[in-house]
Structure 1
């Protein structure tokens, strides 16, 4: 036990990060507590999930009388959600399986907390992952900048609390985990060990991340070629091993999505056949309004990025020191995801605009950490403190008016 509880694992940086995440959780809890009941879209999503849980032994059994009309019609006519897999609905409804059915109509507020618990957990896990990645790449300073911006990000807080928003924070965590787990795996490929057996933990993590990302938003299948590209770039002499590892992770992700249909092959095949994996409206790329929409939503999602991202984008091409893989990878990922956001204007929810936020935060944290190592450290530190403080105050003020 003494070897596990070391200062490297549980020192001052980890304590400060934990406190920031508690502040984040407190903001989410404030919004959940102000929700009197489940919203109609939430009720529909949960009802559909409960229907699927109830039919896990027989996909053709009759629907219970309390299921909503939309779920009943979908089951009877074979209408499938083109954007989300069964996993999306099972996660939404899983906590309510713990609640007796006869009590659901008489405990609305308790149901709200129970229904939103998975997304509160996803929000905490995404924040912890963001802190871990940023700190490993850029040191404590980078970790603090990324997590400080994350914990006061309106879109992340709303999605985690499901406050007039789609619960997409799990989607963001899956996407973030896919890209950076793939990068981590690629960095281990030159070790003189058995590739598959030694990397089995990372393969499992990569497979779970893929299932969560693609299962929550089919169009995020784009992360597979993105992850493969990063792996092949980082391990040019071990490309076969990199491809094998990603293939194993994809197989695991496929199995998990199949399991979310309780291994009913016909149901799973129909779901995949109706999935919109490339939900891109190509005309959007030549419409200025589509770009304005994406950047406006991004500014509303995290106002601090309106200032931080342009500054980081100016520093990156002008300063050779900033152009290394640790900064380039999140920038490339963010660019691709933003373009996908432009091409999917009709997606129900923020979609790519929310998923891109953690990558932009990592990029901003990397540039900030580099600038803090220059002779202008004091000026940069003052600017960062001002930005983080102003963003936090603005977000807390908006929460007070919610």
Structure 2
């Protein structure tokens, strides 16, 4: 085997190792704040929420890696793992996970509808299960997820749009049933306590300066480069705009977080393939380093 071939085979292994390392970083940060002294249901709920947060990070990494490659995925996952703890502390990670999975499963369904019918049922059933899971965690998140899914599928399911009413009737029905049954869930397990934004906690946004730097640079490139304005980049940007208001008024910042990171990953990947590659290496490295430093800094409400 040639050295170049060995490099090709080792690249996925290195990428997976980097992803696992970053998820381990997030797990360490979340475990440090687990309520060990309380024990019982509180500890179980905290650990379950941590697992959901890790699954959300893994889902973000998987989607990024499939869409834009390992470099963009690494940037997105590092910024996710180094996000302020307050983002994870008061949000429902189950709703955030379901919301993210719903949108990209719906995109998968739209693509599957262009292919043979034998590929349809699994994706349609998966979407129904995700709608039920998300509705059980948060009816609002499920409603937003279905709305975003509808917009994406109307754009992508060309020639198959006549199937959408039946599909969404199924998914909405399953979600409604899950909403009716959500009261049976153990108290505190699916429902996170809402964040109370005290004056001392509001500056947490400043502790996302690394992410904001990457987002500003990515938005600038997206605005001036036609090459970057394709569906894979524009969809998470549009979702970010929609969810910005929802996440603010519902006090659920984790619902918003994956989408700007996915947008950043896509644009960074474009920048790394452009003639300004070295500039984008500098921007992405600076943003990640700044966010890591801020993640290690304690501040009120962290």
TM-score, structure 1 as length reference: 0.63
Match of 1:208 among 126, 129, 133: 129
Following superposition, the deviation at residue 136 of structure 1 comes to 1.0
Following superposition, the deviation at residue 200 of structure 1 comes to 3.1
Q: Which runs of 5+ in 1 are unaligned?
A: 1-6, 38-107, 263-292
1:239 aligns with 2:241: no
Task: Give 1 or 2: higher helix fraction.
Answer: 2
Following superposition, the deviation at residue 297 of structure 1 comes to 7.0
Deviations 1:225-269 (A, max 9, x none): 22111111101201123443333333333333333345xxxxxxx
Partner of 1:183: 107
Match of 1:338 among 244, 256, 260: 244
Paired with 1:388 and 1:132, the residues of 2 have a C-alpha distance of: 19
Partner of 2:19: 17
Match of 1:217 among 138, 148, 152: 138
Match of 2:271 among 371, 388, 394: 371
Deviations 1:174-206 (A, max 9, x none): 111111111111111111224xxx333323332
Paired with 2:257 and 2:121, the residues of 1 have a C-alpha distance of: 29
Q: How many residues align?
A: 277
The structure-2 alpha-carbon separation of the partners of 1:363 and 1:249, relative to structure 1 and needing over 3 Å to count, comes to: same
Partner of 1:121: 51
Contact 2:148 2:239 in 1 (8 A): yes
Structure with higher RCO (Cα < 8 A, 6+ apart): 2
Following superposition, the deviation at residue 316 of structure 1 comes to 1.2
Contact 2:111 2:156 in 1 (8 A): yes
Matches within 5 A, 1:325-364: 325-341=231-247, 344=249, 347=250, 350-351=251-252, 353-364=253-264
The structure-2 alpha-carbon separation of the partners of 1:239 and 1:9, relative to structure 1 and needing over 3 Å to count, comes to: farther
Matches within 5 A, 1:1-400: 11-32=13-34, 35=35, 37=37, 108-109=38-39, 112-154=42-84, 157-158=85-86, 160=88, 165-194=89-118, 198-220=119-141, 221-261=143-183, 299-300=205-206, 302-341=208-247, 344=249, 347=250, 350-351=251-252, 353-398=253-298
Q: Secondary structure at the match of 2:243?
A: helix
Q: Which protein has the larger Cα radius of gyration, Structure 1 or Structure 2? A: 1
Following superposition, the deviation at residue 29 of structure 1 comes to 0.8
Contact 2:79 2:288 in 1 (8 A): yes
Contact 1:119 1:159 in 2 (8 A): no
The structure-2 alpha-carbon separation of the partners of 1:24 and 1:340, relative to structure 1 and needing over 3 Å to count, comes to: closer
Output the aligned Cα RMSD: 2.8
Contact 1:189 1:242 in 2 (8 A): no
Paired with 1:310 and 1:298, the residues of 2 have a C-alpha distance of: 18
The structure-2 alpha-carbon separation of the partners of 1:394 and 1:331, relative to structure 1 and needing over 3 Å to count, comes to: same
Paired with 1:140 and 1:371, the residues of 2 have a C-alpha distance of: 14
Deviations 1:92-119 (A, max 9, x none): xxxxxxxxxxxxxxxx346543231110
Deviations 1:124-164 (A, max 9, x none): 1000000011111111111111111101111xx4454xxxx
Deviations 1:265-311 (A, max 9, x none): xxxxxxxxxxxxxxxxxxxxxxxxxxxx9xx6782573323212222
Paired with 2:289 and 2:247, the residues of 1 have a C-alpha distance of: 29
Following superposition, the deviation at residue 8 of structure 1 comes to 9.4
Partner of 2:190: none
Partner of 2:3: none
Following superposition, the deviation at residue 372 of structure 1 comes to 0.3
TM-score, structure 2 as length reference: 0.82
